[in-house]
Structure 1
């Protein structure tokens, strides 16, 4: 497979919303499921915008739309789960993205979840599962940047290939 060639003579585009989205669609990103629960309610979302912030203390950041069904529960409880999906878990990614119309509790069907003592839902067979406490929420334009302090994490045993998304579709790593 050949690499695309950048045409140095092509005009630079204004960073409007369409060009911006196209630029970031071209990256390969890991697929994460963010879970949130408060009281008797639980829901979650699929995200590619999870970023490591610090190893000591262990913190991460996830970008969340405040209008999502997940954000109010995350904000009210002050905690959330972060689950890295493997390449065999596309159906979970689709369910938490709402592609099949599932909402709330229904998104947890057809997968094995467990609840931590502090009420965070983690996917039992995730490549990585992290229990996070909200350390800070930074409001920026259309999103809330949720900084989470990782209070506990679990790594799957053995090698696991993450589920990746690029250019609007799932992709796999090429191995050498």
Structure 2
């Protein structure tokens, strides 16, 4: 994949359906995730078209597109009081390990710096923890998070921006 083939832009309300479908493809199709059926159901319930439309209105949401097809997404904003959070970083399974996630992450960090944000927080499931560690995030808390009816190990992570 060549750099010029991927285009990044702000999400639009009209992207909500494509984002929801992308998340479901990632949950089911990404072999690295190894989500249980209960985890997939729980995460999917939080990523309906309606929920994503609200997220686009409330937060800064970015999309990665290749030849007009949505291949990645991420959002950024104050999910919890006094925390600037990254969330919902999902990549189409066909584009994993090609640098799309890293580029979306750097796009969010660049946006946060422009907004004078000094620290970014996020909550990573076991399957994405190493990705964030490789990108300079540190674990500050480990706990069990309820996803639907299932519980999964979750890592509170942070990165100080320069």
Q: TM-score, normalised by structure 1?
A: 0.27
Pick the structure with more strand per residue.
Answer: 1
Pick the structure with more helix per residue.
Answer: 2
Q: TM-score, normalised by structure 2?
A: 0.29
Q: Structure with the greater relative contact order (CA < 8 A, sep ≥ 6): 1 or 2?
A: 1
Higher gyration radius (CA): 1
